[in-house]
């Protein structure tokens, strides 16, 4: 899975959702790398800037003059303050406050009214206050009747030559959101993809580590060597790309063998495959040895994701060792398993690299409806183990009358219904199977969709029934 170049700092940005910044109103969103900065004296531009920020999921910043414009200041053609400023090419009205961290934006949209055919001088103050080198910029304006004219070209002259300037646009008062959307689309601006958001087209999710992970795959618990190799090969042959194993399952060698075999047989590039393994609490006192062993057993170059299998004595120390392997590139992403609210609250402040994933027991009879949003709101992806209830319980779950009824109405199996329910909750699934037919079926989750009512019917099956102790 390819890196998208997100920094670890992104995680911090992600957690801070709405920030009121000294000076202009500054609404900062999770992980946005687009800024819409606007000046608006009478509110026309503001409405459109809000549309743009909303469409682009961008941060919104109001360029506020230190000395606000009064009605008299704006009474144009009366030699008012605004008239005088526009006549004076050197006028630079001062701005209250600053954009907190301009370096985090790669694209800046500037919005302003037209004053005597040009952008108000305060826009020049704004452009001269930051280093826009290497960024993409574009402006839009609102006016009573004047066209864009030379206003955008004049702004462009304030900027370094390596700024990529897109085609500007003038909007009339009352322009619609749809008009804004279509202009942004025409210049190729679109919302940033969000960490943790499932992309049902590529069937992947972007992790806070910058890597993409498939949203459905294979669990290998209880699979012996040969059936594990077969299952892994079968998964990869049928388009699956995510495999979950653990030191404790005793089958990391088999997973590695299956991966290498399928890469060779089907020409699948290594970076398209995502392997998760875990170190067990009994290994926490010597984490480096545990990681080296996992790398050696898997023998697939690097580990896509390493989890702590459970909380336990020495877990922070073990995780810090895992962080060092991330620094070296031998592990790509980190995660936790069997961590709930209290465990996470205690653990997270002690580590440097935020976990990208938490893997917990979740199925219709044990839904973790409090824990799941707690984790997801932190930009951490949730993955479920025992999605079908786990061995010994699958009969009960797959035979559940509510699930069977929903499954029948979509012409799919109970297993597919449960797995689809997880995906629609934003939970990654790794059903275990030694049966190629089941493996194929468990990947086939994208030609139907559960309705809200069906999601709620399954939600009602929750009975806090845990099928394992951790």
Ligand X SMILES: NC(=O)c1ccc[n+]([C@@H]2O[C@H](COP(=O)([O-])OP(=O)(O)OC[C@H]3O[C@@H](n4cnc5c(N)ncnc54)[C@H](OP(=O)(O)O)[C@@H]3O)[C@@H](O)[C@H]2O)c1
Site for ligand FMN contains 410 (CB under 6 A) = no
Which of 46, 389, 424, 445: binder of ligand X (CB under 6 A)?
389
User: Site residues for ligand X, window 439-468 (CB under 6 A)?
Assistant: 441-442
Q: Would you count residue 126 as binding ligand FMN (CB under 6 A)?
A: no
- Select the binding partner of residue 117 from ligand X, ligand FMN, none (C-beta < 5 to 8 A, by kind): ligand FMN
Residue 113 within binding range of ligand FMN, rule CB under 6 A = yes
CB of residue 219 to ligand X, shortest distance in Å: 2
Please give the Cα distance from 173 to 36 (Å, whole number). 18
Nearer to ligand FMN, 114 or 235 (CB): 114
Site for ligand FMN contains 154 (CB under 6 A): no
Look at strands 204-206 and 198-199 and give their pairing: antiparallel
**Which residue in the set 220, 230, 277, 424 belongs to the binding site for ligand X (CB under 6 A)?**
220
Confirm or reject binding of residue 24 to ligand X (CB under 6 A): no
Beta bridge partners of residue 23, listed in sequence order: 97
What's phi and psi for 33, nearest 5 deg?
Answer: -115, 15
Enumerate the β-bridge partners of residue 305.
276, 333
- Is residue 221 part of the annotated active site? The answer reads no
Nearest to 24 by CA among 122, 120, 114: 122
Whole-angstrom distance, CA of residue 387 vs CA of residue 364: 8
Smallest distance from the beta carbon of 467 to ligand X, in angstroms? Answer: 8
140 burial type by CB count under 10 A (0-12 exposed, 13-18 middle, 19+ buried): buried
DSSP-based three-state secondary structure for 111: strand
Nearer to ligand X, 65 or 364 (CB): 364
Single out the residue of 386, 424, 458, 461 in contact with ligand X (rule: CB under 6 A).
Answer: 386
| Position among 12, 17, 25, 43 found at the interface with ligand FMN (CB under 6 A) | 43
The reply to whether 211 sits near ligand FMN by the rule CB under 6 A is no
Position 388 contacts ligand X (CB under 6 A): yes
The rounded distance, in Å, linking the Cα atoms of 128 and 136 is: 16
Q: Which does 40 bind (CB under 5 to 8 A by kind): ligand X, ligand FMN, none?
A: ligand FMN
Question: Would strands 331-337 and 303-308 be described as parallel, antiparallel, or unpaired?
Answer: parallel
Closer residue to ligand FMN (CB): 183 or 339: 183
Three-class DSSP labels, 281-309: HHHCCCHHHHHHHHHHHHCCCCEEEEEEC
CB of 34 to ligand X, least distance (A): 37
Q: Is 395 in the site for ligand X (CB under 6 A)?
A: no
**Angle, nearest 10°, between helix axes 401-410 and 414-424?**
90
> If you count them, how many residues does the chain have?
470
Nearest by Cα to 135 from 172, 105, 158, 156: 105
Query: What value does the CA radius of gyration of the chain take, rounded to a whole number of Å?
Result: 27
Give the DSSP H/E element, type plus range, for residue 361: strand 357-361
Q: Residue number with the shortest CB distance to ligand X? A: 432
Q: Between residues 28 and 40, which has the closer beta carbon with respect to ligand FMN?
A: 40
Residue 315: both structure tokens together: 């877990």
Give the Cα separation of 336 and 205 in Å (integer): 17
Least distance CB 68 / ligand FMN (angstroms): 12
81 near ligand FMN, judged by CB under 6 A: no
Note the Cα 12 to chain centre separation in Å: 13
Q: Which stretch binds ligand FMN (CB under 6 A): 109-117, 210-218, 239-247, 431-439?
A: 109-117
Binding flag, residue 196, ligand X (CB under 6 A):
no
Q: Based on CB atoms, which residue is closest to ligand X, 302 or 393?
A: 393
> Smaller CB distance to ligand X: residue 44 or 394?
394
- Residues that bind ligand X (rule: CB under 6 A) add up to a total of 29
Does residue 40 bind ligand FMN (CB under 6 A)? Answer: yes
Judged by CB under 6 A, does residue 277 bind ligand X? no
What is the binding site for ligand FMN (CB under 6 A)?
40-46, 74, 76, 82-83, 113-117, 142-146, 173
Q: Catalytic residue numbers?
A: 249
């Amino acid at each position: 899975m390819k890196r998208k170049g997100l920094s670890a700092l992104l995680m911090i940005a992600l957690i801070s959702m709405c920030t009121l910044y000294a000076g202009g109103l500054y609404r900062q969103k999770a992980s946005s790398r687009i800024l819409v900065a606007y000046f608006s004296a009478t509110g026309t531009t503001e409405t459109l800037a809000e549309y743009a920020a909303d469409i682009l999921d961008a941060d919104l910043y109001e360029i506020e003059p230190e000395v606000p414009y009064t009605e008299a200041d704006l009474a144009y053609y009366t030699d008012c303050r605004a008239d005088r400023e526009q006549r004076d090419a050197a006028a630079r009205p001062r701005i209250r406050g600053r954009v907190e961290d301009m370096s985090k934006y790669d694209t800046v949209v500037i919005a302003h009214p037209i004053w005597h055919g040009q952008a108000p001088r305060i826009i020049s103050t704004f452009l001269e206050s930051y280093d826009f080198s290497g960024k993409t910029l574009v402006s839009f304006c609102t006016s009573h009747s004047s066209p864009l004219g030379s206003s955008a070209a004049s702004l462009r002259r304030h900027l370094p030559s390596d700024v990529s300037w897109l085609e500007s646009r003038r909007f009339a008062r009352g322009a619609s959101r749809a008009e804004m959307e279509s202009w942004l689309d025409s210049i190729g601006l679109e919302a940033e993809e969000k960490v943790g958001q499932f992309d049902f087209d590529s069937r992947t999710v972007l992790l806070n580590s910058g890597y993409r992970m498939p949203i459905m795959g294979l669990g290998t618990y209880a699979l012996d060597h040969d059936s594990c190799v077969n299952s892994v090969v079968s998964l990869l042959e049928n388009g699956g790309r995510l495999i979950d194993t653990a030191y404790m399952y005793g089958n990391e060698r088999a997973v590695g063998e299956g991966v290498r075999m399928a890469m060779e047989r089907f020409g699948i590039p290594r970076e398209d495959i995502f392997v998760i393994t875990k170190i067990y609490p009994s290994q926490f006192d010597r984490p480096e040895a545990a990681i080296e062993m996992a790398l050696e057993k898997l023998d697939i170059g690097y580990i896509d994701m390493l989890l702590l299998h459970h909380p336990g004595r020495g877990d922070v120390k073990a995780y810090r060792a895992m962080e060092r392997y991330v620094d070296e590139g031998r592990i790509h992403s980190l995660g936790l398993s069997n961590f709930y609210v209290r465990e996470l609250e205690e653990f997270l402040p002690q580590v440097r690299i935020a976990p990208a994933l938490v893997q917990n027991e979740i199925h219709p009879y044990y839904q973790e409806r409090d824990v799941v949003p707690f984790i997801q709101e932190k930009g951490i992806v949730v993955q479920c183990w025992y999605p079908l209830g786990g061995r010994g319980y699958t009969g009960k779950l797959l035979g559940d009358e509510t699930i069977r009824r929903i499954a029948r109405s979509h012409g799919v199996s109970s297993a597919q219904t449960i797995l689809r329910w997880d995906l629609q909750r934003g939970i990654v699934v790794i059903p275990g199977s030694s049966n190629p037919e089941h493996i194929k079926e468990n990947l086939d989750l994208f030609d139907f969709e559960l309705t809200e009512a069906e999601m709620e019917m399954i939600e009602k099956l929750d009975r806090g029934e845990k099928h394992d102790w951790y």
